[in-house]
Amino acid sequence: MVVAHQPGVGGVLALSSPQPSPPASNAAGPSKSIGKLTASDAMAAFGTSVAIFNQLADFTGVAGPFLKMGLGVVQEIITIVEEVKSNKEECVDFIKRALEIYDYLAQAARAAGYPILPGSSAALSIEPVLRNLIDFKDEIERFSKLEKWRRVGKRAAIKSALEKRTAELDRNLLLLTAASGLTNGIRADYQMSQAPNTPSSTNASGPTVTLVDEPEEILLQHLQIQDTQSDKSSEMLSDSVQQNLKQVSTSVKEVIRRNSLLNTDGQPSTFDSQDARLQKPFTSEEQRKLEKLRQDMERLFLPGDSEDLEGIFHIQSGTSTADDDDPAESALELLAELCDESNETLDKSTLLSLRKLSNDLDTLGLLDEGLMVLQLLATLCRRKIDNGHALDRTNLAAALRHLGAALSSAGRIDEAVAVSQEAFRIVELMAKREPAKYNAHLARSLRQTAILQNEVGDYDAAMQCSSQALKIMRSLHEANPAAFEEDLAGTLHNYSYQLDEVGRHQDALKVIEECLGMYRSLHEKQPAAFEDDLAGTLHNYSSQLSEVGRHEEALQAIEECLGMYRSLHEKRPVAFEADLAMALHSYSNRLGQVGRLEEALKAVEECLTKYRSLHESRPAAFEAALAFTLNNYSNHLSKAERYEEALRIMEECLAMHRSLHKERPEAFEADLARTLHNYSIALSQAGSHEEALEASEECVVMRRSLYQKRPAAFELELADSLHNYSNQLSEAGRHEEALKAIEESLAMYRSQHERRPAVSEVGQAGVLISYSNRLGTVRRDEESLKAIQESLAMYRSLYEKRPAVFEDDLAKASHNCTIALRKTGRHEEALTAIQESLEIYRSLHEKRQAAFEDDLTRTLEVYSEWLSEAGRYEEAVKAMEECLAMRRSQYQSQPAVFEADLAEALNNYSKRLSEAGRREKALKRNEECLAMRRSLYKKEPTAFEADLARTLEKNSMWLSTAGRSEEALKAIEECLAMYRSLHQSRPAGEFEAQLAWTVSFYSIQLSKARRYDEALEAMEESVVMYRTLHQSRPAEFESHLASTLRNYAKQLKKVGRREEALEVIKEYRAIR
């Protein structure tokens, strides 16, 4: 099955059958080591266990990947127990017993001098222990989420379960200690699959393959490993086999029991158990595939020399004679046979039965049990290779690949890496010896290695392996197209994904188009066999189309993909639940890209429900997918103006991605950076500006690091983060830094636009809006106008192509353009532009009120101001009344989000009322605004100091007009103190004009209070400031300077300095 890439989840499943398809991971890249426990990590009662844990933490590299996995689960359990503080005594015994087992195994591995390999007899004995730990962790985690009063009633059940689990661990430990040959068994398992005296070309960055025309001979005598296990060691293996199979049998029976209680629509049924087992039998096509798998695996496990291998790696399909075969019944029959204590022979039927059993378990959704069976299969394959047959070695490699896929799907990446590397070492040597026979195996091993390399973030190595695999497969396909068409299609699929990861999007699209053509051809010949492969390829094809800006085509592709997955899910819900969830995730994104936001939100909610269910049953396997879906869901909630919900969801997502990044930094650095980016935006939308800036800064640091490693892949992402960082800096009043950040972002977008205009045009248009705003803030008005006009032209072009998608953006650009026009004195054009913007927003608001109410209110505010400037005061008041009514409604529903917006609306409304001569009402609205801004300033002084100063300024003016001179003077003194602070702390010139006006008005209020000397001193300060401003910008400040000079002359006369007053009047008249 081929499953498409889901950006951010870190995965692509693209191995063609008969190989299973693991999610993308990475065999090369060291994973993060287990941290040691401290006193704060564990309660005092865990003292002995903490000591054992910390000792074992030093041996994870020596003992094998099983140890890191187990210690990680133990660490989680201890953390949860600390939080719930319940059943402490029983937990201590359970943890101690588990760690004693791990200690015993680690000591055996150390004595053997080799790590315990997955798919070995020793690993087989570990599996029930790990399953016991994981199951208990899930139980205690569910317990911890209960309300405290509910926990009380559950304590007895937890205690009983713990006692049973501890007794099971006692039995596991007894089995281990009873076997005296564990050390020799570990050594033998390791040596069986190694090629003596032959160095492997695999290194920390991934395998490097060299194909030779005359390969070296394999000395079969070197491959003939003597079985060094004692009789007791063999007994241990037999006991482990029986224990694992019986656990699997219990799980299968539980599935049958559950199914017997449900009818076909998932509701309780009165059918008996036997009827329920037959409710959803396999289709004839599924029967044919199962029979084909039986035949293939039977041939695969036939002993013999290398001459038997031609054609085994790619069996051609044929007619089937399979009888109807329910997977549950089939599994039980196989288990009965395998669990028969008299069945101690190791022959091809046993291996075939195990492979068939693992397939049945996957069909039933028992993926953990299927993994156990694959562990058995690999273990038994190891025991067959001591006869020196090359076929048995390739059989082991194939079994290890299957096991690696299952381990990766279960989130056990370190173990998956280990078996992938082992499988590669086996086939690499054989391919050097006989390329014609073994290159197909080598290519498949390379593909799995590339998938694992991608999982832990070693993208360059993954690219190298994918490229090597493709080169081999093209050669094989050229020689035998029919035999290798499916393999080549799967290899192309993976290669396309790797190209996308390193930013080569056009190349990735070209490759996935070739792959899609092959899968359409295969699907046409065998619809049932290749429906899921075609669906997965369509999914990736949609992603690549989206990457290059072909959004309508991308939507069509994902709709075709989704239709196929819904059909497959209907037939086999368990097998295709994850695929359907992934398709829904991408479908929501494609809908959003074409402006169908309500449908997009609905799709992502359906997706999230599925991923929550999958995560609950298999947390390790689906944590990344759930986190990514939460991220997407939060974004869609934001677009629907549901900011508080969006923030809550993003906080849940961030916690998950921090956890994933802690475990595997390289693999999840990009995902964590993306989450921080969106978290910053969510915080800002919810009114938490300081936290938003902190999150944005953290994101920029991470994306700079990613950009340095892979510029092509992360240039646009860094540009986006710089854009958001600029916005947050601007919110904090750090305008010069904000301008610098947006300039860097714009430079990156311009660079991308030259190479990929369709992909970067939308982003560049948005950055130009912010760039215009930053320039306007620092009074570079002509440059600001030029930038917004460039943006507006781009949005007009985009709107013509896709009106539904870009109507909103066009309105925003038009809105911003009107502000820039006004600043450059082009008032009539400004009024025309804002009317166009208002018309668009009214249309959008009618269609989606919640989504566009905020935009409409902002536009009404600006429209009101422009009407006022045109002398149309009553129309201006009416526009602000409409705006204010909306803002009050928004504030009532989300106070934290809309407090600042309501305060601004009150501020502007009071201005319009004053201009219309309704001064008493204007003062009341100003006082309401002042109260809100004092509250905002108290919470975030830096962000709201300037707003509070402006409100105090107006408050003083209207108090003075109302004859309340003392209050007016007090207000202007407070205002003046703030403007002096802002003038000193902010960039030069930013608050100079406001300070000059405020000092002038302060002088007037001092004069009214008969404090003439102070009034004159203040007016002199104001004159000096206005002369400086007039010198740099005469047109803008001529009237201000003239007015100040006139007032200055009056103040001079009041203190008897008439001659100086006359000189000032001359200067005034020269200006006028």
Q: Over pLDDT 70: what percentage of the chain?
A: 76
Separation between Cα atoms, residue 510 and residue 515, nearest integer Å: 9
Residue 843 pLDDT > 80: yes
Distance CA 113, CA 32 (A): 23
Name which residue leads in pLDDT, 716 or 740.
740
Query: Tell me, what's the pLDDT at 680?
Result: 94
Residues 1039-1060, mean pLDDT to the nearest whole number: 89
Tokens of 426: 């086996």
Which of 122-131, 259-268, 357-366, 714-723 has the lowest average pLDDT?
Answer: 259-268
**pLDDT confidence of residue 927:** 95
pLDDT at 770: 93
Peptide bond connecting 435 to the previous residue in cis, omega within 30 degrees of 0: no
Question: Which top CATH class is 960-1072?
Answer: mainly alpha
Least confident range from 157-171, 526-540, 692-706, 967-981: namely 157-171
Which has more confidence, 794 or 395? 794
How many CB atoms neighbour CB 285 within 10 A? 15
Per-residue pLDDT, averaged over 629-639, amounts to 90
**CB atoms near residue 1066 (< 10 Å):** 11
The neighbouring-strand residues paired with 262 are 268
* Range with the poorest average pLDDT among 449-463, 652-666, 739-753, 882-896: 449-463
Q: What is the pLDDT of residue 26?
A: 31
DSSP-assigned states of every residue in 59-111? THHHH-HHHHHHHHHHHHHHHHHHHH--SHHHHHHHHHHHHHHHHHHHHHHHH
**Residue 897: how many CA atoms within 13 Å on its side-chain side?**
22
The CATH homologous superfamily to which domain 848-939 belongs is: Tetratricopeptide repeat domain (1.25.40.10)
pLDDT at 168 over 90: no
pLDDT digits (tens, 9 = 90+) for 19-36: 223 233 333 333 445 666
Query: How many CB atoms are closer than 10 A to CB 1004?
Result: 21
Q: Is the pLDDT of residue 298 over 50?
A: no
Place of tokens 């004053």: 914
Residue pair 855/841 in contact by the 8 Å Cβ criterion: yes
Looking at residues 57-62, what average pLDDT do you find? 77
In the predicted structure, residue 972 carries a pLDDT above the cut 90: yes
Q: How many CB atoms lie within 10 A of CB 478?
A: 10
Query: Residue 323 has what pLDDT?
Result: 38
Q: Where in the chain is the domain with CATH 1.25.40.10?
A: 848-939, 960-1072
Q: Are 573 and 38 in contact (CB under 8 A)?
A: no
State mean pLDDT over 296-314.
Answer: 35
CB 377 within 8 A of CB 366: no
Round to whole Å and give the CA distance between 274 and 294. Answer: 26
Which pLDDT score is estimated for 4?
33
- Average pLDDT for residues 706-715, to the nearest whole number? 82
pLDDT attached to residue 63 = 79
Query: What does each C-alpha distance from 1005 to 920, 968, 1001 come to in angstroms?
Result: 20, 7, 6
Work out whether strand 2-6 and strand 11-14 pair parallel, antiparallel, or are unpaired. Answer: antiparallel
Nearest to 812, CA basis, from 778, 782, 848, 788 = 788
Q: What confidence tens digit (pLDDT) does each residue in 1057-1068 have?
A: 988 889 888 888
The phi and psi torsions of 26 (rounded to 5 degrees) equal -145, 120
- Pick the more confident residue, 802 or 312: 802
**Mean pLDDT value across residues 890-895:** 88
Mean pLDDT of 753-760: 77
- Of 7, 11, 14, nearest to 25 by C-alpha is 11
603: pLDDT confidence band, cut at 50, 70 and 90? very high
Give me the helix-helix angle, 121-144 and 182-192, nearest 10°.
Answer: 100
Residue in the block written with tokens 């020399």 = 305
CA distance 986 to 735: 8
**pLDDT category, 294, cuts 50, 70, 90?**
very low
Give the per-residue pLDDT at 98: 84
Q: Which residues pair with 26 in a beta bridge?
A: 453
Give the percent of the chain with pLDDT over 90. 31
Query: Where is pLDDT greater, at 553 or 91?
Result: 553
Across 58-68, b (16+ Cβ under 10 Å) vs e yields ebbeebbbbbb
| pLDDT higher than threshold 70 for residue 570 | yes
Tens digit of each residue's pLDDT (9 = 90 or more) over 187-226:
777 666 554 434 334 333 334 333 323 222 322 223 333 3
Q: Which two tokens stand for residue 530?
A: 């290749």
pLDDT in tens, 227-239: 334 444 454 445 5
Q: Could you tell me if 833 and 807 are in contact, meaning their C-beta atoms sit under 8 angstroms apart?
A: no
Angstrom distance (rounded) from CA 208 to CA 200:
9
29 CA to centre of own chain: 20
Average pLDDT value for residue range 949-961? 93
Give the pLDDT score at 825.
84
What average pLDDT does the segment 5-11 reach? 30
What is the fold, at CATH topology level, of the domain defined by 774-846?
1.25.40
Rounded to the nearest integer, the mean pLDDT of the chain is 78
